[in-house]
Structure 1
Amino acid sequence: MISPATIDEIKNRMDIVDVVGDYLTLKRSGSSYKALSPFTNEKTASFYVVPSKGIFKDFSSGKGGDCITFVMEVDGLSYLEALKYLAKKYGVEIIEEEQSDEAQEAQNKRDSLYILLNFAKESFQELLWESEEGKSIGLSYFKERGFTDESIKDFELGYTLSEWDHLLKAATAKGYRQELLEEAGLIVVKEEGKVYDRFRNRVIFPIHNVSGKVVAFGARMLGKDKKQPKYINSPETELYNKSRILYGLFQAKQDIRKEDNVYLVEGYTDVISMHQTGIKNVVSSSGTALTEEQIKLLKRYTENVTVIFDGDAAGIKASIRGIDMLLEGGLNVRAVALPEGEDPDSYAKQLGTSAFSHYIESESQDIIRFKTKLFLADAKDDPVKKAGLIKDIVRSITKIDDPVKRTVYLKECSDLLGISEAVLVAEQNKILIQQNRDKGKAGYQPGENLTPQDLLVAQPEEPEELDIMKVIELQEKESIRVLVNYGKSHITNHELVDEDLISYFLSEIEEIQFTNPVYKSILDIFKEKLLEGVIIDGDYLIQHGSEEIKREVVNLMTSKHEVSENWEKKFQIYIPKEEEQLKDVTYSNILRLKFRIVQHLIEEENRKLKEATNEDDIDILLDEINGLKKIEMSLAEFLGNVTVK
C-alpha cells in the first residue's frame, strides 16, 4: 500500500484539467471546462471539469470524482494503479506500506503481469537487433517493408526464434512462474502436459494500452507453413481485452487531439507506414470489427474519423457495413478508398510523404456519399438492387442523431439516387418508428434518454400528483448541497455574531431527521468531525467518504450552469453570487425543508382523521392539524413564494 504521505503528495500536485486533458479535448465553459463523455455515446457535451474543486462530473453516465477516480474509470485501473500512474506523471517517488494479504496478492499479480509482458517485449527486441536469426530474418523483413530504425524502436517491434521454448526458458531462468506465463498468454499448455511458446518464428508487434504499457502482442508469420495462420494475437487476459484496445493509440493520441481527426486503418503495418509519412493520428482495429468500446475510446480524443479502405471493392463492401456503428456513436465519418490492389502501407511507400498526404486529404468524402456512390455503381439499372441500396443508405442516415445533418444527407442522396426526397423521408420515418417500437419491446419508456428520432413516436406522460416525500428529499439535497460546498465558510448569524456555517446549520436543523440515508450519513460525518474540533467540506468527503457518499458529493459540488460574467462586464448588471449570501441561502433552505415536513405531517394527520371514528380522537386530530396549519402559514409567510395547499 502506498503511504499516506505519498498519497497526499500526489494529491497536492495533481491538476484535474491537466489529467483529464490527457484523455479528452476540453473546452472552457465559464469557470469550468466541458467535453463529450468518454463513457457514453453522447452528442452534446455533458462532461464537466471544475478546476476550483478539483473534480469532474459526467452527467450522462453519473460518474464523478477527482483525478484518481477519473484515471480509474477511464483506463480501468485499480486505485493503486491510478496512484502509480499519477505519481509517475508528476514525478512523485512511491513509498509503500503494508496492506491486506488479499489486496496485496491481487495487486502483485497485475504488477507481475505488466513486468512479465515488458520482459517479453524486451526479449523480443533484443532477439531482433542482436541475434543472427533476428537480424537476418526479422530485421530484414522490417527493412524490406521500408520501416526505419526509428519507427522500429518507437513501436518496440521484435522477433521470436523458431525454437519451441526459447521465451519459456528465458523467463523461468529469470524466476517467472509457468502459471504467470500462461496467464499472460505467452505460452500454451496442452492437456497432456506439453508446454511451448505461443509466438515462434514471427515478427512481433507489441500492443500498448493508452498509458503506454504492453498488454499483449500481435505476431506475423514469416515462413511458408500454410497450416499456420498469418497473424496470431495474445488471448484475452486480465490486462488485455481486444474490444477495448486500438493499436497505435498510445503513439497517436496527442496528434489526434492536435489534428482533431483520426485515421482508421486495418493493420499494424498500415499504422507504422503512415507514421513514417508524417501522418501520426492513425490507429488500427487490428483486422477485427469495430466495437462500441473502441468507438467510445476514439471519441475521447476526437469526433472526426476518416476510414481508409484498401483498394479492394469486394473488401470495402464487406467492411463498410460496420461503419454504421461509428455514425451511431455520434462521430463524423469520412472515407477514402485507395487504388485497386493498394493498402496504406504499400501506397504510402509508392507515393512518398507529401503525395500520399495530399491523396488522403483530397480523396476523402463523407461516408454517406461514399457509400451511396460505391453501391450505386454496383446496382446500375437493377431495380431490385437499387431498392435494397436505398433502404441500406437510409438506414445508415437514421444512425445520425442530428436531424439537420439527416435532412442534408437525404437531400444529397435524393440527387445522387434520382429518387424523390419525400420517398426517402418516408422510408426514414418507417425505420425510426420501427426502431422505437423495438426499444419499447426491450423495456424502453418514452421520455427516457430521448433523442430527436424518439420524438416521432414518444408520447407525453401524464403529470403525477405531488409526492411530498420526494419534495422533502429534494429539499434535503439542496440543504446538504450548501453544506458540502461551503461547510468551511463563516456567516453572521441572527445575533450578528460571526459563526461557522456548519455550527449555524446544525443548530437550525437540530430537530429534523433526514429521510435520505446518504444525506443523513453526510450530515453525521459533519457532526462527528465538528465534535473532534475539525470543520470539513465536500473535499474531505471526496477523499474519505464511502463510494456512495463520494458520488453524491461530486453531484452536489458540480453544476452544468453558471451565471455568465458578461452580465456584469458587458451590461453592468450585477447578480449576487451564492457565496455572498450564504446565511440567507442556508436559512431559506432549512425553512423550506421544515415547510415541506410540516406539509407531510398535515397529510398524515388528515389521513388519520379520515379513518378516525371516536369523537375525542377527531377533536385531538383537528387541534393538531390546526396547529400545524398555523406553523405552515407562518413558514410560508417567511418564505414569501411558497403556495400553501
Structure 2
Amino acid sequence: MITPNTIQQITSRIDIIDVVGEFVKLKKRGTNYIGLCPFHNEKGPSFTVSPAKEIYKCFGCGKSGNTITFLMEHEKYSYVEALRWLAARYHIEVEETETSAEQKQLIQTADSLYVINNFAQKFFIDQLFNTENGQAYALSYLRERGFNEEIIRKFQIGYNPDSRDTLTKALLANQFNPELLPKTGLVSQRNGNELVDNYRGRIIFPIHNNTGKTIGFGARVIGKADRAPKYINTPENEIYVKSKILYGSYFARTAIDKADECLLVEGYTDVVSLHQAGIENVVASGGTSLTIDQLRLIKKYTNNLTIIYDGDSAGVKAALRGLDMALEESLNVKLVLIPDNEDPDSYVNKVGASAFNDFVATSKKDFVLFQLEVMLKEAGNDVTKKSNVVNQVAETLSKISRAEDFTKQQDYIRQCAGILRIDESGLTNLVNKYKRDKIAKDEKKHASSFEQEMPPDFQGQPEDVLSDSELLLIQDEAHERNILRLLLEYGLRNWNEQQSIADHIFQELEQFHFDSAPLAHLFEIYRQQYYQGLEPTTKTLLYHDEEQVRNLIVSITVFPFELSQKWDEVMESIDIVNQDTSRADVEKSLLYYKLRKIKRMLEENQRDMENASFDDYKRLLEVHKHLKDLERDIAKQFGSVIIK
C-alpha cells in the first residue's frame, strides 16, 4: 500500500483546477469555477469546482468529491491508480508500506507485466523500422494497406520476426522472469520448458489502457490467413481483461468528448485507418460482443454511440449483439452498415474522409427499428414467428427503464406499433408486463435479505408521505449540518484570546448530542483530530479514508450559489462579500441549534408526563420548568417572544 507520507505529499500538492481542468472546460465565476458536468449531459453549466475547498459538485446530477474521487469517477481508476496518476503528474516518488504476501505478489506481477509489455512494444517497433526483414516484409505490407509512418508510430504498431525465438532471447537477455513470459502471451511454452515466440511473423498492435500503458497485444498475420488464425490476442491476466477494454480508447477519448459521439468499429485496422483520415472519435470492440463494461467506458465520454460494421449478415448479427445492455445504459445507439462487402478500413481508403463522414451522417439507422426490420424479414409470413417478434421487441423496449428516458420509450412504442401494425396501447401493456416481471424477479431475489433487515413490526407507509416526526428529523438534521459547516469553515479561527471557535462550539454543545448518526460520526472525527493537534479542515477531511465522510464534507460545504463580488464594488462602505461574519454566524447558529434541541426535549418530556406516575410526574415537571427557563434565555438573546 502507498504510505501515508506519500499520500500527504500528493494531497498537499494537488491543484484541483489543474487536474479537473484537463477534462472539463472551466470558467471562473466569483471564487469558484464552473463548467459543463462530465458525468451527465447538460446545456447549462451546473458543475462547480471550489479551489479553496478543493471540492467539485454538480448541482444537476449530484456527483461530488475531491480531486482523487474525480479521477476515480471520470477515469474509472482505483484509489491507488488515482494516487499514482497524481504522483506521476507532480513528480512525487511513491513509497509503499508492507502489504500481505498475496497483495504484494499481485502488485509485483502486474508491475512486471507492464514492464515486459513496454519492452516488447519497443522491441516490435525497432524490428519494424530498423531491420531489413521488418522493412521489406512488414513495413511494405502496412504501406500497401495505406498506413503512413506517422500513424504507425502514433499507434506504436510493430513487427515480430518470423524466426523461432528472437523476442524470447531478447527478453531473457534482459533478465525478465521466464515464469511470467507465457502469462503475457508474447511467449509460448513448448516441449516442456522450451520458450518460443508466440506472434512470429505478425504485425503487432499494442493495446493501451486509459493511462496509455501497454496492457496487451493483438497480432495479425501479414496477408491472408490460411490455416492460422488471422489474429492472436493476449490471454487475460492481472492487467488485461478483454471485456473491459476498447482498442484505441486512449487515443480517442478527447475526440469522443469533443464530438459527443463514439464511433464503434470491429477491428484494429479500422481504427487506425479512420484516425489517419482525421476521424479520431473511434474505438474497436476487437471482434467480440459488446460488454457492459465497454458500454460504460463509452458512456464516460458520450451518450451517443454509432456502430459501424460490415454490411454482410455476420456484420449485422455482430452489430445487434449487446443492444439491450446499451438501452439499459441509456445510450443513444445508431447503426451504419458499410456497403459492397467493404469494411470501414477499406471504405475510408476508397472514398476518402469527407465522403466517409457524409455516408455515416446520412446512413445512420436507429438501432431498435433496424433490429425490428431484421427480425420481421426473417419471420416472413410465419404468424408464430411474427408473434415472437412482438414479444422480443416488447422485451427490448422494457429495458429502457430510466425515468429520464420515458419519452424516448413512448416514441419507440409508437413507431414499433406502426411497423408491426398492432395497437399501440397493446404494445405498451406488453412492455409494462415485461417491466413488472423483471421487478418481481428482482424483488424475489432480494426478498429474504430485505426481510432480515426490516424490524418485525415494520408496516411501511405510502411513498413520498412524511410524518410530522420525520419532518422534524429533517429540520433537526439541517441544524446539525450547519454546526458542522461552522467547524469546517471557522473552527481554527480565534473566538477570543483563550479559545478558538472550535473550542467555543465544543463547550456550548457539551449538554447536547447529534441525532443523525453519520453527522455525529463526522463531528466526533473532527473533535478527535482537533484535540490531537491535526488542525482538521474541509481540505484535510476530504481525503478521509471513509467515503461517507468525504461525501458529507462535500454536501455540507459546497453550495450552488455565492454572492457576486460586484456587491462590494457597488456598496464599498459595507463590504458585503468579504466582511468577516464568522462570529455572528457562530453565535446565531448555536442559538438556533440549542433552541431547536430544547423544543424537541420539551416535546419528549411532555409526552412522558402524560403517562407518568405521580412521583415521575413531579420530577418531569421540574425538568419541564428548567427547559422552559433555558428556552426563554435563548429567546431573549434573539429578541424573540416564546408563545405558550
TM superposition score category, shorter chain reference: 0.7 to 0.9
Over residues 55-86 of structure 1, what are the superposed CA-to-partner deviations in whole Å (9 max), with x where a residue is unaligned?
23579999754223332455455656434433
SS in 2 for 1:354: helix
SS in 2 for 1:466: helix
Aligned to 2:487: 483
Aligned to 1:93: 91
Please show how residues 413-432 of structure 1 align to structure 2 within 5 Å: 413-432=416-435
Contact 2:26 2:35 in 1 (8 A): yes
Greater Cα offset, 293-302 or 384-393: 384-393
How far off is 1:186 after superposition? 3.5
Matched, 1:347 2:347: yes
Aligned to 1:449: none
Please show how residues 485-524 of structure 1 align to structure 2 within 5 Å: 485-488=489-492, 501-514=501-514, 519-520=519-520, 522-523=522-523
Gaps of 5+ in 1: 446-457
How far off is 1:282 after superposition? 0.3
Aligned to 2:160: 160
Greater Cα offset, 218-227 or 435-444: 218-227
Greater Cα offset, 410-419 or 350-359: 410-419
Q: Aligned-residue CA RMSD in angstroms?
A: 4.6
Aligned to 1:304: 304
Aligned to 1:317: 317
Over residues 409-467 of structure 1, what are the superposed CA-to-partner deviations in whole Å (9 max), with x where a residue is unaligned?
2333344333333333233222333233233223389xxxxxxxxxxxx9736645726
Aligned to 1:70: 70
Contact 2:39 2:63 in 1 (8 A): no
Q: Which amino acid aligns with 1:552?
A: L
Matched, 1:411 2:414: yes
Distance 1:69 1:539 in 2: 13
Please show how residues 227-246 of structure 1 align to structure 2 within 5 Å: 228-246=228-246
After superposition, the Cα gap between the structure-2 partners of 1:21 and 1:287, relative to the gap in structure 1 and judged at 3 Å, is farther
Aligned to 1:454: none
Aligned to 2:128: 128
Q: Which amino acid aligns with 2:327?
A: L
How far off is 1:337 after superposition? 1.2
SS in 2 for 1:179: coil
Greater Cα offset, 195-204 or 308-317: 195-204
SS in 1 for 2:210: coil
Q: Which amino acid aligns with 1:333?
A: V
2:444 to 416, 441, 445: 441
Distance 1:398 1:581 in 2: 54
Distance 2:99 2:388 in 1: 62
Distance 1:334 1:113 in 2: 37
Please show how residues 2-41 of structure 1 align to structure 2 within 5 Å: 14-23=14-23, 32-33=34-35, 35=37, 37=39
Distance 2:447 2:268 in 1: 40
Aligned to 1:253: 253
Contact 1:335 1:366 in 2 (8 A): yes
Aligned to 1:448: none
Please show how residues 268-287 of structure 1 align to structure 2 within 5 Å: 268-287=268-287
Distance 1:28 1:329 in 2: 33
SS in 1 for 2:135: helix
After superposition, the Cα gap between the structure-2 partners of 1:564 and 1:313, relative to the gap in structure 1 and judged at 3 Å, is farther
User: TM-score, normalised on structure 2?
Assistant: 0.80
After superposition, the Cα gap between the structure-2 partners of 1:127 and 1:263, relative to the gap in structure 1 and judged at 3 Å, is same
After superposition, the Cα gap between the structure-2 partners of 1:80 and 1:586, relative to the gap in structure 1 and judged at 3 Å, is same
How far off is 1:171 after superposition? 1.4
Q: Which amino acid aligns with 2:238?
A: E
How far off is 1:241 after superposition? 2.2
Q: Which amino acid aligns with 1:405?
A: K
Contact 2:6 2:95 in 1 (8 A): no
After superposition, the Cα gap between the structure-2 partners of 1:31 and 1:63, relative to the gap in structure 1 and judged at 3 Å, is closer
Over residues 527-581 of structure 1, what are the superposed CA-to-partner deviations in whole Å (9 max), with x where a residue is unaligned?
566567775421122246666543432343335x437979999xx9x9x989975
After superposition, the Cα gap between the structure-2 partners of 1:362 and 1:28, relative to the gap in structure 1 and judged at 3 Å, is farther
Over residues 483-541 of structure 1, what are the superposed CA-to-partner deviations in whole Å (9 max), with x where a residue is unaligned?
224445678x9xxx998543442332233344667645644565566567775421122
Distance 1:333 1:27 in 2: 32
How far off is 1:209 after superposition? 0.8
Contact 1:37 1:46 in 2 (8 A): no
After superposition, the Cα gap between the structure-2 partners of 1:37 and 1:178, relative to the gap in structure 1 and judged at 3 Å, is same
After superposition, the Cα gap between the structure-2 partners of 1:534 and 1:288, relative to the gap in structure 1 and judged at 3 Å, is closer
Distance 1:73 1:111 in 2: 23
Aligned to 1:452: none
Q: Which amino acid aligns with 2:423?
A: S
Distance 2:270 2:390 in 1: 33
After superposition, the Cα gap between the structure-2 partners of 1:105 and 1:635, relative to the gap in structure 1 and judged at 3 Å, is farther
Aligned to 2:452: none
How far off is 1:286 after superposition? 1.0
After superposition, the Cα gap between the structure-2 partners of 1:127 and 1:145, relative to the gap in structure 1 and judged at 3 Å, is same
After superposition, the Cα gap between the structure-2 partners of 1:393 and 1:578, relative to the gap in structure 1 and judged at 3 Å, is farther
Q: Which amino acid aligns with 2:366?
A: D
SS in 2 for 1:35: coil
After superposition, the Cα gap between the structure-2 partners of 1:140 and 1:66, relative to the gap in structure 1 and judged at 3 Å, is same
| Amino-acid identity (%) | 36
How far off is 1:119 after superposition? 0.5
Q: Which amino acid aligns with 2:246?
A: L
How far off is 1:329 after superposition? 0.7
Greater Cα offset, 142-151 or 581-590: 581-590
Q: Which amino acid aligns with 1:624?
A: V
How far off is 1:279 after superposition? 1.1
Distance 2:435 2:636 in 1: 52
After superposition, the Cα gap between the structure-2 partners of 1:428 and 1:368, relative to the gap in structure 1 and judged at 3 Å, is same
Please show how residues 325-336 of structure 1 align to structure 2 within 5 Å: 325-336=325-336
Q: Which amino acid aligns with 1:390?
A: V
Greater Cα offset, 230-239 or 193-202: 193-202
SS in 2 for 1:69: helix
Matched, 1:263 2:263: yes
Contact 2:187 2:196 in 1 (8 A): yes
Aligned to 2:540: 540
Distance 1:81 1:597 in 2: 45
Distance 2:590 2:104 in 1: 46
Aligned to 1:292: 292
Greater Cα offset, 414-423 or 599-608: 599-608
Contact 1:489 1:500 in 2 (8 A): yes
Contact 1:334 1:366 in 2 (8 A): yes
After superposition, the Cα gap between the structure-2 partners of 1:160 and 1:386, relative to the gap in structure 1 and judged at 3 Å, is same
How far off is 1:640 after superposition? 10
Aligned to 1:389: 389
How far off is 1:261 after superposition? 0.8
Aligned to 1:620: 619
Contact 1:28 1:34 in 2 (8 A): no
Contact 1:34 1:49 in 2 (8 A): no
After superposition, the Cα gap between the structure-2 partners of 1:529 and 1:320, relative to the gap in structure 1 and judged at 3 Å, is closer
Please show how residues 548-587 of structure 1 align to structure 2 within 5 Å: 549-559=549-559, 561-562=560-561, 582-583=582-583, 585-587=585-587
After superposition, the Cα gap between the structure-2 partners of 1:166 and 1:334, relative to the gap in structure 1 and judged at 3 Å, is same
After superposition, the Cα gap between the structure-2 partners of 1:124 and 1:433, relative to the gap in structure 1 and judged at 3 Å, is same
After superposition, the Cα gap between the structure-2 partners of 1:68 and 1:387, relative to the gap in structure 1 and judged at 3 Å, is same
The number of aligned residues is 619
Aligned to 1:453: none
Q: Which amino acid aligns with 2:92?
A: I
Distance 2:356 2:260 in 1: 19
Distance 2:411 2:577 in 1: 44
Distance 1:406 1:27 in 2: 36
Distance 1:439 1:577 in 2: 52
Q: Which amino acid aligns with 2:623?
A: E
